[in-house]
Chain A
């Protein structure tokens, strides 16, 4: 559905590979007495896709607003391209593109008019505005809808148009607030592919706010897990899933229910986080792969026959709920 490379003939890839383009230190913002973002420390590198992952009310949208100079922090600071969005907001916003949570289209205007307005606001000439709007309408297969007022558009059509609008001026940083909510699976995949290509082929930096764990895990280079405004964990999705917190679930086949002796032996192995008897043996959670090796050695060296052992891959959901259920303190060291 979304054809071609994002910026056909518009501009070359930005090469800032690895450079830190967004930093925040102790960034905090409350509304009345409710803390929306709490002492956030974050570094985002050029060309990276960073997912801000968290449940409703975690502070994702507030973070985006703070980074783009729409809200001022109560405490702490942030730099985008080395500039303070609070004082150099206009300059920052020239170089960022935002997909807001609600598409924010004026229903009384046509798709084209909505986009052309944004293009003009971004300082593009009339001719250049038209050219870029056409390009984006084509890319998002919205050309046959171009002259319709957006009031009648479906959620997915609005989202696509809003996405087209965010990309109009070829921004170096994209803030995408729940880009796939309301999209069907095909459109979701298109957007996911697009985000990947923006970052990997065109060097754009993408900050993606989402509460879909699977999505974050698939697209993001790193995920930052937010809850109640606090950064609970940050890292590569695989690392978060496989190594942290809940452990990796594994099944051990002992040919029958585990004896209490076997359970005690397993429990005493360092790195075992949970063990439970099953009809065919036991199910355990281990901190990492090496723990698994120690468990098997401990069992066989004490005369237990092990018929089979398999580690399951922790799903993103496991990580998510583990984070949600656990007390804050246990994550603080992980969250830098």
Chain B
């Protein structure tokens, strides 16, 4: 029996999953050994989700006068200011910062992780001349795209969720004894981690797929991608403190908007991800 006749009955939705899994497994293994990729990918979540809440928490515990919180509450949308203002004064600052203000900042994690990984998966593959080898293997264009997508998406979501768990532990520990019950997770955080974060990860991928097609090296892709993604972060953080926090319906809607843009970009990227284009651009 030659290989050509090997029955291939593991296809689901016409996707050759073992082949997709082989690519993802290889990519993740290679990435784990790549310091240039792994360090920013772990350092940023660590700073954002462990160090920052720790500092904020300690500072908030020491803040003797809640007046600054009160004046800040005035500038917040009423929907948010209301529930916070009704809390006892010493709980206000911690709940505000850890329970709400950090949530949009948290979204940097899935965005950055997926962007860094996508740059490595798409542009990096070209740079290392391993893309050509892949193109000569029996994998469909679409399956290859799916594999590359998952290489960025799965770790981005995983790191976000693990990071969130760490954050929840830190946030609740640091407010222990001051705030009654748990600060996180609250409703907002649940929407953010399960709905908005995957959308943002997909957005990062969608952007980087596009950018990588135009770059020859990972560095180039990262620079170009950074130029697109950084303003987006500022925009998101700036808008989110005013908007996302107001109520859950708005957070949901914002997530849906991100999903739509992200899926459009990914769909566009996928339809342009053909062997002929990739090899023709090499």
Contact = CB atoms under 8 A, between A and B. Distances in A.
A203 interface: no
A227 interface: no
Contacts of A149: 33
**Majority secondary structure of chain B interface residues (helix, strand, loop or mixed):** helix
Q: In this complex, which of B23, B34, B138, B279 has the most chain A Cβ atoms within 10 angstroms of its Cβ?
A: B138
Interface string A104-119: 1111110001000110
Interface string B256-282: 000000000000000000011001100
Given A11-B2, A104-B130, A106-B128, A122 B138 contact: yes
Interface in A131-159: 149
Interface stretch (A51-59, A90-98, A252-260, A265-273): A90-98
A129 B227 CA distance: 43
Interface in B64-96: none
A70 B135 contact: yes
Nearest to A95: B4
Given A89-B275, A118-B137, A122-B137, A109 B132 contact: no
Nearest to B140: A90
A94 B3 contact: yes
A71 B280 contact: yes
Given A106-B130, A108-B33, A109-B26, A68 B3 contact: no
Interface string B32-65: 0110000000000000000000000000000000
Given A93-B136, A122-B138, A71 B276 contact: yes
Contacts of B8: 123
A97 B27 CA distance: 22
A236 interface: no
Given A89-B275, A90-B139, A122-B137, A169 B3 contact: yes
Interface string B113-131: 0000000000000001111
Given A94-B4, A102-B129, A121 B29 contact: no
7 contacts: A91-B4, A98-B133, A105-B130, A108-B34, A120-B22, A123-B19, A170-B2
Closest 6 CB pairs of A and B: A104-B133, A120-B22, A98-B136, A108-B30, A93-B138, A102-B129
